[in-house]
């Protein structure tokens, strides 16, 4: 993950954001964001700053100066917002293989669907 585009895609997916949502959040067209993500264009400084803010990271991460992608205060805040059970579940999830993570996501979605139908 060396390019700006790869880093944008990584964080967007990590934050569970659609390309369209991120584009509108930072005030650009989805096609423009797609071009950034595919490394066809590089965002100007103003857009880079908006991307960093929307993705809850730093511009240093986006341009590859650091591999730390969370702001330290935000990472602590996010962790403190989780209950002990939520932290334990997250820990289990991270230990699963990619295949089992996908299975768990499907199971969770199925359970949510069943819950909403009640």
The enclosing domain of 55 has a CATH number of 1.10.260.40
Check whether residue 11 and residue 63 sit in a common domain: yes
Number of domains composing the chain? 2
Quick one: CA dihedral 14, 95, 2, 67, positive or negative? positive
Residues 66 and 15 in one domain: yes
- How confident is the model over 8-54, as pLDDT tens digits? 999 999 888 999 999 999 999 999 999 999 999 999 999 999 999 99
Residue 76 resides in a domain? no
Model confidence pLDDT, tens digit, residues 46-64: 999 999 999 989 999 999 9
Q: Show the domain range for 87.
A: 82-117
| Same domain (yes/no): 12, 49 | yes
Question: DSSP string of 22-54?
Answer: HHHHHTS-HHHHHHHHTTSS---HHHHHHHHHH
| pLDDT of 73 over the 70 cut | no
Residue with tokens 């991120």: 22
């Amino acid at each position: 993950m060396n390019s700006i585009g790869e880093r944008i895609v990584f964080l967007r997916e990590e934050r569970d954001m659609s390309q369209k949502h991120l584009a509108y959040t930072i005030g650009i067209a989805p096609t423009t964001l797609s071009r950034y993500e595919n490394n066809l264009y590089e965002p100007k400084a103003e857009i880079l700053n908006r991307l960093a803010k929307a993705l809850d990271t730093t511009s240093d991460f986006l341009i590859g100066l650091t591999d730390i992608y969370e702001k330290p205060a935000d990472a602590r805040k996010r962790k403190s917002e989780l209950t002990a059970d939520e932290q334990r579940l997250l820990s289990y999830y991270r230990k699963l293989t990619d295949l089992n993570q996908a299975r768990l996501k499907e199971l969770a979605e199925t359970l949510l669907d069943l819950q909403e139908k009640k």
